[in-house]
């Protein structure tokens, strides 16, 4: 047996270890993966085939971005006509798209495809392909169509919504068409399907027949049932939007000068604006906002214009006096109690509702001082002045009632109970009737102002959360706003709705200008004032 010295053993060990490390290094180097080159190639169109009369298949050579592939604007199909691509479906592999089109004829079509990206963001080069249309419709079932509004027997005034519900089993709805007395009055290609019809040219008191059709992309046409409606007698004050005046902030209540040449309204900042509110003057001849007065004393929702000279408005815990001739605020008085409505009597007294004090404050303009306060049984908000019977009507929101104050002795005459929360009260021109909008029961109260007696509380279909009201100079038509974004025209002879129309968003108050026979509707939802008239 050979003897191996320790020195030789050590050398062999070192040599073997070196060989082992070299082998590991070489093996690891051989097994290291090479980096994959980034995808820089644009996607390509592999094939375009017409499946049937309304479906075209577009195939790509790789997966594409669905957001681009599902955009109907990225496909243009033309021949002697242009085919509308109205819907696209994509397969789970994101390589095949089915385009829903208008009906193809048996002819050659050219499709232009653009703006398609692959999953790496490479954009396709604009590609044009030709394909042969099928031209034979597979869908032979017409759509279903049913009238939603108006209903049979409804009375129509002026401008009215004509809406339908339409559905199709196969290719989808291409358009809905609307007919009055067999005459086409309009079409709509987008859901929901409706058209605003103008019936003012139809004979008042007559019965008209309406129906609608729906056409699918297979050129099948479905018909609704025919419905008879009554053409109402139009009020003398027609609805036409003469002008739209947009405001800088959220507008609320408004009032007019005695001569009708100016309207004043308050506007309140929203959450993302500086905490400054405004009193704004609108010229009714030009419909231009001519003056904006800024104030920092708190939000304002109530004001009263007296004659052609003064505007009284409440803000925070104060009330202010604006001189129209000087065009400036001449006085601001801190009275506390969260003041709400303010009105001026024929003499030199102001009546100011203080919500948290539950009273009506009397302020003398002659002595510039508080002279009295009248406790009321609730939280007062809006006020109105009965110039014939020399009384103040006070809305008590918490009590669902109206308190009547005799201005001769500044004492409470009576409390009129209501069913709902009063928002605003106005008087007819002769002050024989008072009208109170009741928000939470969707009605308007009618009060005999000569003896302060509740006559009725009226509700109409569609009038929701009524707020602002105005009345024409002859007292024959009451206008009321509601949360349904509609204005209602009510005949004060029999209290029937002669007309209703959608206008703006969240109409809040209305001002009538006899000088021009116009109404101004203040909308808080879209910060606008609509001038309507003949």
**Do the domain assignments include residue 161?**
yes
Same domain (yes/no): 440, 347:
yes
Answer yes or no: do 403 and 320 share one domain.
yes
Contact 382, 424 (CB under 8 A): yes
Residues 451 and 520 in one domain: yes
CA pair distance 134, 50, nearest whole angstrom? 6
The answer to whether 481 and 487 have CB atoms below 8 angstroms apart is yes
Torsion of CA 387, 389, 392, 394, to 10 degrees: -120
Tell whether 327 and 431 lie within a shared domain: yes
Instruction: Give the per-residue pLDDT at 235.
Output: 57
247 in the same domain as 224: no
Please tell me the total count of domains within the chain: 3
pLDDT digits (tens, 9 = 90+) for 108-126: 899 999 999 999 999 999 9
Q: Are residues 125 and 188 in the same domain?
A: no
pLDDT at residue 137, rounded to an integer: 54
Q: How far is CA 510 from CA 97, 388, 522, in A?
A: 54, 23, 6
Q: Are 335 and 352 in contact (CB under 8 A)?
A: yes
Indicate if 370 and 292 belong to the same structural domain: yes
Distances (CA, A) of 22 to 12, 26, 28, 30: 15, 6, 10, 12
How does 106-137 read in b/e, with b if 16+ C-beta sit within 10 Å? eeebebebbebbbeeebebeebeeebebbeeb
> What's the domain range around 302?
241-533
Q: What pLDDT score was predicted for residue 239?
A: 66
Give the whole-angstrom CA distance, residue 116 versus residue 114: 6
Burial class of residue 494 (count of CB atoms within 10 Å of its CB; 0-12, 13-18, 19+): exposed
Same domain, 267 and 358: yes
Residue 529 and residue 444 share a domain: yes
Cβ neighbours around 73 below 10 Å, total = 8
Considering the domain architecture, whether residues 97 and 170 belong to the same structural domain is answered as no
pLDDT of residue 238: 55
Let me know if residue 320 belongs to a domain. Answer: yes
Would you say residue 164 lies in a domain? yes
Same domain? 334 vs 409: yes
Instruction: Identify the CA nearest to 45 among candidates 32, 33, 27, 57.
Output: 57
For residue 25, is it within any domain? no
Task: Enter the DSSP assignment of 504.
Answer: S
- Within a domain: 341: yes
Note whether 59 and 156 are same-domain residues: no
Q: Is the pTM of this model over 0.85?
A: no
**DSSP-derived secondary structure for 316-380:** TTEEEEEETTTTEEEEEEE--S-EEEEEE-SSSEEEEEETTTTEEEEEETTTTEEEEEEE-SS-E
Q: Which whole-number Å values give the CA distances from 502 to 56, 139, 156, 480, 523, in the listed order?
A: 42, 38, 14, 12, 12
Q: Which residues of the chain are modeled with pLDDT < 70? A: 1-36, 135-139, 170-171, 234-239, 534
Three-class SS state of 178: strand
Residue 327 φ/ψ, nearest 5 degrees:
55, 50
CATH code of the domain in which 110 resides: 2.60.40.1220
On whether the CB atoms of residues 85 and 77 are closer than 8 A, the answer is yes
């Amino acid at each position: 047996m050979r003897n191996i010295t320790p020195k030789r053993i050590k050398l062999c060990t070192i040599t073997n270890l070196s060989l082992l490390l070299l082998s590991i290094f070489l093996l690891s180097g051989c097994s290291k993966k090479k980096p994959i080159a980034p995808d820089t190639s644009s996607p390509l169109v592999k094939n375009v085939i017409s499946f049937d009369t309304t479906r075209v298949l577009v195939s790509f050579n790789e997966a594409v971005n669905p957001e681009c592939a599902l955009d109907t604007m990225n496909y243009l199909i033309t021949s002697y006509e242009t085919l509308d691509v109205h819907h696209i479906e994509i397969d789970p592999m994101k390589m095949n798209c089915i385009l829903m089109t208008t009906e193809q004829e048996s002819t050659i079509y050219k499709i232009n495809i653009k703006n398609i990206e692959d999953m790496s963001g490479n954009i396709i080069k604009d590609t044009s392909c030709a394909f042969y249309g099928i031209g034979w419709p597979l869908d032979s079932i017409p759509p279903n169509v049913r009238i939603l509004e108006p209903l049979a027997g409804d009375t129509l005034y002026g401008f009215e919504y004509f809406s339908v519900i339409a559905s199709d089993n196969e290719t989808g709805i291409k358009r809905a068409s609307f007919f009055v007395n067999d005459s086409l009055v309009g079409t709509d290609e987008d859901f929901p399907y409706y058209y605003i019809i103008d019936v003012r040219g139809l004979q008042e008191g007559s019965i008209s027949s309406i129906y609608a059709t729906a056409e699918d992309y297979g050129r099948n046409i479905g018909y609704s049932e025919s419905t008879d409606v009554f053409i109402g007698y139009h009020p003398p004050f027609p609805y036409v939007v003469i002008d739209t005046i947009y405001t800088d902030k959220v507008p609320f209540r408004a009032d007019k000068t005695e001569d009708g040449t100016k309207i004043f309204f308050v506007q309140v900042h929203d959450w993302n604006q500086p905490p400054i509110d405004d009193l704004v003057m609108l010229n009714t001849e030009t419909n231009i906002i001519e003056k904006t007065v800024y104030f920092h004393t708190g939000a304002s929702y109530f004001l009263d214009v007296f004659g052609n000279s003064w505007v009284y408005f409440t803000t925070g815990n104060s009330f202010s006096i604006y001189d129209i001739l000087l065009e400036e605020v001449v006085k601001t008085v801190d009275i506390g109690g969260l003041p709400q409505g303010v009105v001026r009597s024929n003499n030199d007294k102001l009546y100011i509702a203080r919500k948290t004090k539950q009273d009506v404050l009397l302020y003398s303009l002659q002595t510039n001082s508080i002279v009295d306060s009248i406790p009321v049984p609730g939280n007062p908000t809006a006020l109105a002045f009965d110039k014939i019977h020399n009384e103040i009507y006070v809305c008590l929101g918490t009590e669902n009632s109206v308190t009547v104050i005799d201005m001769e002795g500044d004492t409470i005459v009576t409390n009129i109970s209501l069913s709902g929360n009063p928002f605003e009260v106005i008087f007819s021109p002769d002050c024989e009737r008072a009208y109170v909008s009741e928000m939470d029961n969707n009605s308007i109260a009618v009060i005999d102002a000569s003896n302060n007696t509740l006559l009725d509380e009226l509700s109409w279909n569609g009038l929701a959360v009524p707020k602002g009201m105005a009345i024409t100079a002859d007292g024959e038509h009451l206008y009321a706003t509601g949360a349904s974004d509609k204005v209602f025209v009510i005949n004060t002879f029999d209290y029937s709705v002669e007309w209703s129309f959608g206008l703006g968003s969240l109409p809040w108050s209305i001002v009538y200008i006899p000088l021009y026979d116009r109404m101004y509707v203040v909308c808080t939802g879209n910060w606008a004032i609509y001038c309507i008239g003949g």
